Amino acid sequence: MQATQKPDIQDIVVILTLLFLTAPFFLLIYISLFNRRKKKHDDEKLEMKQSFDNEIVKTQHEIKEQTLQTVGADLHDNVGQLLSLTSFTLKSIKGNEPDGINKKVDAAIELVSRSMQEMRQLGKLLQGEQLISLGLNEAITQEVHWLERTEQYQITYQAQNLNSVTANPEKDLILFRIVQEILNNAVKHSRATRIDINLLYKAGTLQLQVNDNGVGFIIDPSDKPTGMGLMNIKNRAKMIDGTTTITSAPENGTQISVFVPYP
């Protein structure tokens, strides 16, 4: 029978010496690898920031474009028509009908005054694009006023607790564009007649909820957004660390909620 031999203290010392001599090299290799990961992380962060900045510029451009489109359409559909009518009325004045002159001039004055009112509204809308700098609430209020004046939609807008939080201009810009997209969808695709907008700040989260009574649509079970508009809304919310939930059913309207950590 062979007795188990205990390792000699000298062997332990030799092993320890080798360990102590080589261990720092492994530590330095580990630090080097860890540092490389740190660089990769930094690069990713930079890339994300660049992508966010690009999105902000894109959003600003889109808001401008949307405003100009609205202004262009209004100039053509309303102001243009009113001025054509004014011109037609003034041209129809005949010198040999003195009784009709006053009537037609009054009508022309009325038409010009309506044109001026329209122009004032357009001016406010153009200003509204800059209103984002005054806050999300102001910008949404202007957008709602503009839609209301068409008298085709019943719109309610409620903002709660917004005064209790410091604004984040970058997030405001993205959120305003989301509101524009949702309203655009409600008007163009859903054919909604009633739209309710709620903006609520609670416990570090800004909640935007828009309900409409439009035609609605079938939600894809895979939770993939069906149209470009909805995809844009989801992507934009994600960019500011937000989440979006969309509820809809045919003939039952659409409800879109966006939750964004704020400020």
Partner 1 sequence: MLNYFTIVTIPELICFITAAVCLYNDKSPAWKWLVFYLFWVCLTEIGGIYLRARYGTNNWIYNILFLFEIATIMIMFRAVLNPYRNSNKLISVAAIVLYSVYLINTFAKKDSFFQHYSNTGIALAIVAALLSFYFFYWFLNDDAYVPLFSSASFWWVSGTLLFYFGTTVIRVFYDYLSGVIPELTIYYIYRAVNITLYVCWSYSFICRRLRNPISRTL
HEC sequence for 39-75: HHHHHHHHHHHHHHHHHHHHHHHHHHHHHHHHHHHHH
Burial of 114: CB neighbours in 10 Å, binned 0-12, 13-18, 19+: middle
Q: Which is nearer to partner 1, 31 or 68 (CB)?
A: 31
Name the minimum Å distance from CB 204 to partner 1.
Answer: 23
Name the minimum Å distance from CB 6 to partner 1.
Answer: 15
Nearest CA-CA partner of 183 in 86, 92, 254: 254
Nearest CA-CA partner of 121 in 137, 142, 91, 100: 142
Q: Does 21 bind partner 1 (CB under 8 A)?
A: yes
Backbone phi and psi for residue 138, each to the nearest 5 degrees, phi listed first: -60, -45
Q: Does 4 bind partner 1 (CB under 8 A)?
A: no
Name the minimum Å distance from CB 219 to partner 1.
Answer: 41
Stretch that binds partner 1, among 9-17, 74-82, 182-190, 233-241 (CB under 8 A): 9-17
Dihedral sign from CA coordinates of 17, 18, 19, 20: positive
Q: Does 7 bind partner 1 (CB under 8 A)?
A: no
Q: Does 6 bind partner 1 (CB under 8 A)?
A: no
Q: Does 31 bind partner 1 (CB under 8 A)?
A: yes
Stretch that binds partner 1, among 13-21, 69-77, 227-235, 236-244 (CB under 8 A): 13-21
Distance between CA atoms of residues 85 and 137, nearest Å: 37
> Which residues would be at the binding site for partner 1 (CB under 8 A)?
9-11, 13-14, 16-17, 19-21, 23-25, 27-28, 31-32, 34-35, 38-39, 41-42
